């Protein structure tokens, strides 16, 4: 199969772009560190929201009974930009950067580098356990049969709707997942009609292409190069999924 080229578009359907870096819990993420982190990012992310993380784990007793154990509450802080379009989330075990109005990786990468730089100045030698980059593409069109996507995405994605269910008007959701295990990283790919009005029947023309690239082997100096690679691979996968009618709708930009 010919590998398609990654293209640039004037418009995109990315509703959420998420970069997440997990690490073993860092006890020094305390109030002093959080204040210093805020000082570094506050010019771009002036709003702060504090949240409480409540977690429950299971413990197997000697009697063989599985007992639920409530863990101590932990604090998580979200640093949000002035327009509430981007946020940085810092918790004792992860750092996440999210964009709700994604433009391109160049702009998104600036927020990632800002967060990584602030974190790197405050925490020495964290034990990273996972690095991920996820793009949720919610393709919403304002006209057309909500079950007919043959001109927009690869027909294999909707074959079960077309053939087995024969475009039943009773469909309320149809989502599928493919997990790919490459040598150096993994991909969770979710696709289909999620239906934002679920459990109502499907009535809006919308389709999800959700690419979640991640690796469980992370070295500090390789974080940005790995994210650049994930971004490129995500773009290639997206091109394999869509057809020219959708490309025309998004407006290809000549470089």
Instruction: Go through the chain and tell me how many residues it has.
Output: 255
Nearest Cα residue to 26 out of 88, 95, 80: 95
Does residue 93 form part of some domain? no
50 pLDDT more than 90: no
Please report which confidence band the pLDDT of residue 66 belongs to, taking 50, 70 and 90 as the band edges.
low
Average pLDDT in the 23-34 region?
A: 78
Question: What pLDDT was estimated at residue 217?
Answer: 86
What average pLDDT does the segment 57-77 reach?
Answer: 68
Q: What's the confidence (pLDDT) of residue 92?
A: 87
Question: Is residue 230 in some structural domain?
Answer: yes
Residue 29 has pLDDT above 80, yes or no: no
Task: State the DSSP string of 108-146.
Answer: HHHHHHHHHHHHHHHSSS--EEEEEEEEEEEEEESSS-T
In a domain, 110, yes or no: no
pLDDT per position as a tens digit, 216-231: 989 989 999 999 999 9
Domain hosting residue 236, numbered range: 1-17+134-255
pLDDT at res. 3: 61
CB contact set of 218 (below 8 Å; sequence gap of 6+): 21, 128, 129, 130, 131, 226
- Which band of pLDDT confidence, cut at 50, 70 and 90, is reported for residue 76? confident
Residue 1 has pLDDT above 60, yes or no: no
Q: What is the mean pLDDT of the chain?
A: 90
Angle among Cα 192, 195, 196 to the nearest 5 degrees reads 130
Give the global pTM. Answer: 0.89
pLDDT value at position 58?
64
Per the domain annotation, does 23 fall within a domain?
no
Please check the confidence at residue 67 and state whether its pLDDT lies above 90: no
Query: How many structural domains is the chain composed of?
Result: 1
Q: Which residues of 127-154 are buried (b: 16+ CB within 10 A; e: fewer)?
A: ebeebbbbbbbebebeeeebbebeebbe
Residue 196 inside a domain? The answer is yes
Q: What is the mean pLDDT of residues 129-140?
A: 97
Q: For 231-254, write each residue's pLDDT tens digit.
A: 999 999 999 999 999 999 999 887
pLDDT of 74 strictly over 80: no
pLDDT given at position 128:
93
Asked if pLDDT for residue 207 goes beyond 70, the answer is: yes
With respect to residue 30, please indicate whether it lies within any of the assigned structural domains: no
Residue 43 forms part of a structural domain: no
Residue 108 within any structural domain of the chain: no
């Amino acid at each position: 199969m010919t590998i398609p080229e990654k293209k640039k578009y004037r418009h995109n359907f990315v509703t959420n772009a998420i970069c997440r870096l997990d690490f073993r819990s860092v006890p020094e993420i305390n109030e002093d560190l959080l204040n210093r982190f805020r000082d570094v990012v506050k010019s771009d992310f002036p709003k702060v929201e504090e949240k409480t993380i409540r977690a429950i784990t299971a413990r197997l007793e000697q009697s063989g009974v599985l007992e639920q154990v409530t863990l101590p509450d932990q604090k998580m802080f979200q640093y949000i930009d002035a327009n509430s379009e981007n946020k940085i989330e810092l918790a004792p075990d992860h750092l996440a950067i999210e964009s709700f109005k994604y433009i391109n990786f160049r702009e998104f990468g600036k927020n990632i580098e800002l967060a990584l730089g602030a974190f790197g100045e405050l925490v020495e030698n964290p034990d990273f356990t996972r690095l991920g980059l996820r793009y949720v593409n919610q393709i919403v069109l304002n006209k057309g049969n909500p079950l007919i996507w043959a001109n927009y995405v690869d027909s294999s994605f909707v074959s079960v709707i077309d053939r087995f269910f024969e475009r039943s008007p009773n469909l309320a959701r149809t989502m599928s997942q493919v997990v790919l295990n490459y040598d150096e990283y993994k991909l969770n790919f979710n696709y289909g009609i999620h239906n934002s009005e679920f459990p109502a029947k499907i009535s809006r023309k919308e389709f999800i292409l959700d690419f979640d690239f991640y690796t469980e082997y992370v070295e500090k100096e390789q974080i940005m190069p790995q994210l650049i690679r994930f971004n490129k691979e995500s773009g290639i996968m997206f091109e394999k999924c869509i057809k020219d009618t959708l490309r025309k709708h998004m407006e290809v930009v000549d470089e």
